[in-house]
Amino acid sequence: MDLRPAEVTSILEKEIENYGGDSRMQSVGTVLSVGDGVSRVYGLDDCMMNELLEFQNGVRGIALNLEEDNVGCVLLGDAAKVREGDTVKATGRIISVPTGDQLLGRVVNALGDPIDGKGPLGTTAADLRPIEQPAPSVVERQPVTEPLQTGIKAIDAMIPIGRGQRELIIGDRQTGKTALIIDTILSQKNTGDGDPTNPEQVICIYVAVAQKQSTVVDIVRRLEAAGAMKYSIVVMASAIDEASMQYLSCYCGAAMGERFRDAGRHVAIFYDDLYKQALAYRQVMLLLRRPPGREAFPGDVFYLHSRLLERAAKLADNAPEINPRYEAGGGSMTALPVVETQEADVSAYIPTNVISITDGQIFLESNLFNSGIRPAVNAGISVSRVGGAAQIPAMKKTAGSLRLELAQYRELQAFAQFGSDLDKATQAKLTRGERLVEILKQGQYTPYKVTDQVAIIYAGTSGALDDLAVSKIADFESAFLEHLNASHPEVAEQIMTAKKGIPDETKAVLDEAIATVKRQIA
Amino acid sequence: MSTVAVDPVTARWAGALWNLASSQGAVDQVGKDLERLAAEFSSPAVRAFMLAGDASPAERRSKLEQVMGGFHDLSRRFVGLALDRARMGVLERAAAAYRALSLDKAGVVEGVVEAPRPLETAEVSALEAKLGGELGKTVRLSQRVAPDLLGGVRVFVGSRMIDGSATGRLEGLRRRLLDAPLPTPAAID
């Protein structure tokens, strides 16, 4: 990076001028032992929980265990530089990270230091926020009312997510969990034209915990290529970083999101993934000799996740009147944590914990994924407990019948092989179901606008596609949406503003468009 | 730093001994006894014999009996009990714990003052008085010459440090300069 000597000189001048010779009393301690990324320190009498400590060689640490005769801390840097007998200084600061607009488009580590080679963030001391903050209280919240459009038909229709909700994404490895997150981030471009200064733009924060660096680089490239990095922040504690950084990175991301939430903006935060975070936490806590519990996780592993996810909230419109900590009301932070399961075992310790904390979950299944149903969402066992209230009315009405027909299809699916031996009604249900499943398939990195989703789902549930071959559904879909947006641009507005289901006149336009396109592709 | 790490077990043993000694008015006498014991332990041969060797408890007892001539009755009992319970570590560290406790009860803190040149007695006592006023305790400072400080003094009292040295200030300046907000690349272009 290019720096002018004159600027450095002026900074020097200012610093030297302001440099006071104040020699305040500082709390110090001595390193008793160090190893495996943790250290025990004797002294540090007034040490606070989560206080940032400074070791002799500039290595930083966090005090996590305050015991009778020593302080247990995790090291946030090169443990090899710390030696027994070194002096440790207490900084009097709870660990905090820089927050604010300057972080948009940047990749930072768990301490908020930029790691993307794009130079300093340009934040000031006033932008620092403690990474652990209390979640908004009951009176400072309101129920979710606005939708967070993921752009994925299967999710927006059947498992809708509201702004301020916590929705778990759960599934085995290689089932498309991260792909779903990327699509959701790309889809947020529709909220404010991808312009981060637009107050309507949903800010996205992707926290990569113990991910491969190559994966994160790939994600960042893809977001940049799609123009989605402008309104996103990537917090990365990759597999090579210390376990302490890995478990702290989620709180760091949450603190950055809260800054926007408290200013009345909308944020979607993705923790990828919380199972690995729990593993990192377990490692640190075992090294600090906290007693192990089930599966050797410490007793507070539930609290580890509950306090993190509780910070996702939809703030009340009058939140600033109740608590001056908020700059504006109505902001939201939506959390989409990921948990990776082993062999689809959702009853393991961490998955059950997080399922019980969140407001619903999206199950991704490898069977579905391998049979070509992508996104591999199992609509039968995926739920969203509060998101329904945030769906637009047209989608709510249309998706209602979709859910029902898919459920009936799943029940009858086992009989599908009997073919013509089945009665007419059963055959009709199977035909419908096959087409609906086909409609819900979607390519990667192609989020749909909600109006397009309503239109195509309407086409499926109205039965107009029952006489179309399953193999032609995909062709129909693209041709239909193209035709609709070109010839009937007013339909989108009508669907968006409909108060109760799709209006009859709009339905007539849609039916006509469906018939036209069917003739074209036949 | 002047403070020594005292483990909780030794602190508890020393606390019990101090309470009894104080009720019998023998705090100083017992303290001296323990110092003698600690001096004995400072020899590597004795230390190995008492802590690591395969000596029998009776042999260890008879070895300590030689040291305990002129010990206060309380000190003798203390040593006897520690031997019975096989708390050799307590015996070794009891003097330090007892001393820390005695100082604490007397409202005294010990510390070290580091400076690049030997300080005058008047300078040290002025520092002691000033620090004592700030901490609300009597401060006793010992001296250590540390040429790498370049100038000024650095004082350690208990688990606190006051860094008024030139090195410390330069280090602080270095850190401030590193942390100083730089113009972002966009601003430079």
Residues of A in contact with B6 (CB under 8 A): 69
Residue B165 tokens, joined: 């040295």
Question: Predicted ipTM?
Answer: 0.76
Of B47, B82, B105, the one marking the end of a domain is: B105
Any chain B CB within 8 A of the CB of A92? Answer: no
Residues B18 and B79 in one domain: yes
Please report whether residue B77 resides in a domain. Answer: yes
Residues B40 and B79 in one domain: yes
Q: Say if the Cβ atoms of A11 and B164 lie within 8 Å.
A: no
Residues B134 and B86 in one domain: no
Residues of A in contact with B151 (CB under 8 A): none
Residues of B in contact with A118 (CB under 8 A): 185
Residues B165 and B90 in one domain: no
Please report whether residue B167 resides in a domain. Answer: yes
Q: Say if the Cβ atoms of B173 and A28 lie within 8 Å.
A: no
Residues of A in contact with B11 (CB under 8 A): 69
In 3-state terms, what secondary structure has residue A216? helix
Pairing of strands A232-237, A202-209: parallel
- Contacts of range A377-382, beta carbons closer than 8 Å, 24 or more positions apart: A377/A152, A377/A154, A377/A155, A377/A158, A377/A159, A377/A440, A379/A154, A379/A158, A379/A159, A379/A403, A379/A406, A379/A440, A380/A407, A380/A410, A382/A158, A382/A159
C-alpha closest to that of B169 among B156, B151, B181: B151
Please report whether residue B127 resides in a domain. Answer: yes
Please report whether residue B38 resides in a domain. Answer: yes
Residues B174 and B94 in one domain: no
Cα B186 from Cα A520, distance rounded (Å): 52
Give the model's confidence band at B2: pLDDT under 50 very low, under 70 low, under 90 confident, else very high. very low
Residues B32 and B85 in one domain: yes
What's residue B1's pLDDT?
37
What's residue A192's pLDDT?
93
Residues B92 and B140 in one domain: no
Whose structure tokens read 């090169």?
Answer: A78
C-alpha closest to that of A188 among A233, A144, A221, A131: A233
Residues of B in contact with A30 (CB under 8 A): 1, 5
What's residue B70's pLDDT?
86
Residues B79 and B114 in one domain: no
Residues B49 and B119 in one domain: no
Distances (CA, A) of B20 to B29, B72, B77, B90, B104: 12, 12, 11, 17, 16
Residue B12: how many other CB atoms lie within 10 Å:
12
Please report whether residue B119 resides in a domain. Answer: yes
**Could you read off the pLDDT of A513-522 as tens digits, one per residue?**
999 999 998 7
Q: Which residues of A110-148 are buried (b: 16+ CB within 10 A; e: fewer)?
A: bbbebeeeebbbbbeeebbbebbbebbeeebbbebebbb
Distance to chain A for B184, nearest Cα, Å: 6
Of B58, B75, B105, the one marking the end of a domain is: B105
For chain B, the residues whose C-beta falls within 8 A of a C-beta of chain A are: 1, 3, 5-8, 11, 134, 156, 158-164, 168-169, 172-173, 176-177, 180-185, 187-188
What's residue B58's pLDDT?
86
Pairing of strands A128-130, A360-364: unpaired
**CATH code for position B154:** 3.40.30
Residuewise pLDDT in 10s, chain A (522 residues): 556 677 777 777 776 776 665 567 889 999 999 988 899 999 898 899 999 999 988 899 999 999 888 999 999 888 889 999 999 999 888 999 999 999 999 999 999 999 999 988 988 889 999 999 999 999 999 999 999 999 999 999 999 999 999 999 999 999 999 999 999 999 999 999 999 999 999 999 999 999 999 999 999 999 999 999 999 999 999 999 999 999 999 999 999 999 999 999 999 999 999 999 999 999 999 999 999 999 999 999 999 999 999 999 999 999 999 999 999 999 999 999 999 999 999 999 999 999 999 999 999 999 999 999 999 999 888 999 998 889 999 999 999 889 889 989 988 888 777 766 788 888 899 999 999 999 999 999 999 999 999 999 999 999 999 999 999 999 999 999 999 999 999 999 999 999 998 999 999 999 999 999 999 987
Domain that residue B137 falls in: 108-179
Of B49, B70, B105, the one marking the end of a domain is: B105
Residue A232: how many other CB atoms lie within 10 Å:
27
Q: Which residue numbers of A are catalytic?
A: 385
Q: What is the DSSP string of B82-120?
A: HHHTT-HHHHHHHHHHHHHHHHHHTTEEEEEEEESSPPP
Cα A130 from Cα A251, distance rounded (Å): 9
Residues B56 and B143 in one domain: no
Please report whether residue B133 resides in a domain. Answer: yes
Which of B3, B162, B173 minimises the CB distance to A25? B162
Please report whether residue B186 resides in a domain. Answer: no
Q: Comparing B16 with B3, which gets the higher pLDDT? A: B16
Residue of chain B minimizing CA distance to A102: B184
Residues B77 and B118 in one domain: no
Tell me which DSSP letter residue A173 carries: T
Please report whether residue B3 resides in a domain. Answer: no
Q: What is the DSSP string of A260-276?
A: HHHTT-EEEEEEE-HHH
Residues 6+ apart with CB under 8 A from A370: none
pTM of the full structure = 0.87
What's residue A2's pLDDT?
59
What's residue A414's pLDDT?
80
Mutate to test the interface with A, among B182, B188, B189 (most CBs of A within 10 A): B182
Give the model's confidence band at B4: pLDDT under 50 very low, under 70 low, under 90 confident, else very high. low
Whose structure tokens read 């004797």?
Answer: A42
Residues B136 and B62 in one domain: no
Q: How many domains does chain B have?
A: 2
Any chain B CB within 8 A of the CB of A421? Answer: no
**CATH code for position B90:** 1.10.520.20
Pairing of strands A232-237, A107-108: parallel
Whose structure tokens read 């998955």?
Answer: A351
